[in-house]
A and B are shown apart, each in its own frame.
Chain A
Amino acid sequence: MVGIITYGAYIPRYRIKTEEIARVWGANGAEIAAGLGVKEKSVPDLDEDTITMSVEAARYALARRDIPRDAIGAIYVGSESHPYAVKPSSATVGEAIGATPVMTAADFEFACKAGTAGIQTCMGMVMSGMIEYGCAIGADTAQGAPGDALEYTASAGGAALFIGNEKPIAEINRTCSFTTDTPDFWRREGQTYPSHGGRFSGDPAYFKHVQGAAHLMLEQMGTVPSDYDYAIFHQPNAKFPRKVSKMLGFTAEQIGPGLAVPRLGNTYSGAVPVGISATLDVAKPGDRIFVTSYGSGAGSDAFDITVTDTIESDVFNRSAAPTVEELLANGKYLDYALYAKHKGKIVMQ
């Protein structure tokens, strides 16, 4: 059955605290950190971007399970921050993991859900027999304009999930999506920073679509929230996933392991793939995982996943790559000036 063959996450080493950003803009840092539920976020190094993080995540995944590189038939990188407007990130990833040249590749963009769109595409290709393995990556060096609400959360990181049929560590029982044209967040061609509709990004956007896809999944599977051991929801901040999980009937314990946002920030396309990775870091055979992503514009992809015995078998070495918890530990803190330098916010002559 189709499922996740292996996974790997990557988070840069640098961090900035919410209170440090608030200090620069004369805002109440403690209040903002408590309101968003985000106390710090990751910051990319000067030489890191979506391509480098995608390669590191994919290499970590392959360290856990050695897949024949020529059997990787597709690579999709979902991101809002592809380093090139025209030239695929996915081809560089393919070259750097030795999967080229007999493979297809493309870069995806659907705000924060491009990574899960890649999982669905790989599932379709694996299930149709077009490819043996596909690699779906969600990664971002997320943008937020200086002084904008997004700046408190827009962070950097990502994860790679390899999809296949042969002894998956977690079977994907079903996927479904819920999509409408909802302009809650966008970035026009050539613009450096995204724009958003403020409070409009809540009820008619995030909550409507996450609940739409989640209800659809529960209905199609004939399940209730208590049937699942873990749940992962898109996490632009900690407030939204906590609220939507409660509205749907999931508990704080179920979303706990997959909620990386309080110490990581919003990795946009990387958010749900990192959440899945953090959950697989602790999952046991038989555990059932409920996943719903969200991408502005707007849509949600839901997944029903069951962890298999393979996760503890000889073919899979979970400890061969760092866990999300290990990647989050020992961050190196920057002040706002160094953060601005790292993010290219200082105009150089």
Chain B
Amino acid sequence: MSVPRYWRKQQNRYNLKGNYCETCGRYFFPPRVLCPDCRRDGKIVDYEFSGNGTVRTFSIIRTASDDYDLQTPYAIAIIELEEGTCMTAQVICEPDEISIGMPVKRVFRKIFSEGDSGVIVYGTKFVPA
């Protein structure tokens, strides 16, 4: 990932900054510029998600790309945030600890490093709540 691309998404990754439509009350993460339901009648406003949610579904990764190889096996889950929208993130626990419906909360962790001399990318992962 290029440095500017990582930097542009920083607030989303660090603080779960997304948005929601004031007209219909639908939440978005990552943020959207237009509400797909309300279209031009929608009013999009910034929103910081609480970081509490539940596991809707998950997969255990046993064969990963080089950047994540050291962490295998690890769980990647679709997290349903308490506000109603979903996001994909790693859940830090043993592979047999995770289950569908498990409550989780956000934590701040290292996502990956670009080798020994590149930038370190930080962001949000989840742990059992």
Find out whether the CB atom of A98 lies under 8 angstroms from the CB atom of B71. Answer: no
Say yes or no: A96 contacts B122, CB within 8 Å.
yes
* Segment from A46-54, A212-220, A297-305 that makes contact with B: A46-54
CB proximity to B under 8 Å, residues A67-119: 83-84, 92, 95-96, 98
- Residue in A closest to B113 when the chains form the complex, CB atoms: A83
Chain A residue at smallest Cβ distance from B120: A83
A56 within 8 A of B: yes
Partner of A47, one of B10, B11, B110: B110
Q: Are B122 and A46 in contact (CB under 8 A)?
A: no
Roughly how many angstroms separate A83 CA and B116 CA in the complex, as a whole number?
11
Instruction: Find the B residue at minimum CB distance from A51.
Output: B122
Residues of A within 8 A of B48 (CB): 98
| A243 within 8 A of partner (CB) | no
Is there an interface contact between A96 and B108, defined as CB atoms closer than 8 Å?
yes
Most A C-beta atoms less than 10 A away, residue of B10, B15, B92, B109: B109
* Contact partner, A49, options B15, B71, B107, B110, Cβ 8 Å: B110
Q: Is B129 an interface residue (CB 8 A)?
A: no
- The reply to whether B110 and A96 contact each other, CB–CB distance below 8 Å, is no
Q: Contacts A46-B70, A47-B110 known; A95 to B14 CB distance under 8 Å?
A: yes
List the B side residues contacting A95 at CB < 8 Å: 10-11, 14-15
Q: Decide: A47 near B120, CB < 8 A? Known: A95-B14, A96-B15, A98-B15.
A: no
Verify if A55 is at the interface (C-beta below 8 Å from B).
yes
Q: Is the beta-carbon distance between A47 and B15 smaller than 8 angstroms?
A: no
A23: B residues at CB distance < 8 A: none
How far is it, in angstroms, between the C-alpha of A51 and the C-alpha of B10 when the chains are bound? 15
Q: Closest residue to B51 on the A side, CB-wise?
A: A59
B108 touches A52 (CB 8 A): yes
- Closest Cβ of chain A to B18, distance in Å, is 14
Which of B108, B109, B110, B111 has its CB near the most chain A CB atoms (within 10 A)? B108
Give the shortest distance, in Å, between B74 (CB) and chain A (any CB).
9
B70: which of A49, A51, A55, A341 is its contact (CB, 8 Å)? A341
With both beta carbons as reference points, the residue of chain B lying nearest to A93 in the complex is identified as B108
Chain A positions within 8 Å of B109 at CB level: 45, 47-48, 52
Say how far B42's CB is from chain A's closest CB, in angstroms. Answer: 26
Nearest CB on A from B69, distance (A): 9
Contacts of B15 in A (CB 8 A): 95-96, 98
Name, among A45, A47, A59, A84, the residue most crowded by chain B CB atoms within 10 Å (CB to CB): A47
- Is there an interface contact between A59 and B108, defined as CB atoms closer than 8 Å? yes
Q: Which residues of A contact B107 (CB under 8 A)?
A: 52, 56
Q: Which residue of B lies closest to A346 (CB)?
A: B70
List B contacts of A55 (CB < 8 A): 108, 122
Given contacts A52-B110, A52-B122, A56-B108, contact A47 B14 (CB under 8 A): no
What mask results when residues 315 to 349 of chain A are scored 1 for a CB within 8 Å of chain B, else 0? 00000000000000000000000000100000010
**Within A30-76, which residues are at the interface with B (CB < 8 Å)?**
45-49, 51-52, 55-56, 59
| Shortest distance from the beta carbon of B115 to any chain A beta carbon, whole Å | 11
Using an 8 Å CB-CB cutoff, how does the interface string of B66-86 with A read, 1 for contact, 0 for none? 000011000000000000000
Contact B120 A46 (CB under 8 A): no
Return chain B residues, CB-CB under 8 Å to A52.
107-110, 122
| Residues in A whose Cβ lies below 8 Å from that of B110 | 47-49, 51-52
Rounded to whole angstroms, the CA-CA distance of A46 and B90 in the bound complex is 13
The docked-state distance in angstroms from the alpha carbon of A49 to that of B107 is 13
Q: Which of B10, B48, B110 has the most chain A CB atoms closer than 10 A to its own CB?
A: B110
6 nearest A-B pairs in the assembled complex, by CB-CB distance: A55-B108, A47-B110, A47-B109, A96-B14, A52-B108, A52-B109
Could you list some 12 contacts between A and B, CB below 8 A? A45-B109, A46-B71, A47-B111, A51-B120, A51-B122, A52-B107, A52-B108, A59-B108, A95-B10, A96-B122, A98-B15, A348-B70
- Chain A residues close to B by CB (< 8 Å): 45-49, 51-52, 55-56, 59, 83-84, 92, 95-96, 98, 341, 348
Given contacts A46-B71, A47-B110, 14 further A-B contacts (CB under 8 A): A47-B92, A47-B109, A48-B110, A49-B120, A55-B108, A55-B122, A83-B120, A84-B120, A92-B122, A95-B14, A96-B14, A96-B108, A98-B15, A341-B70
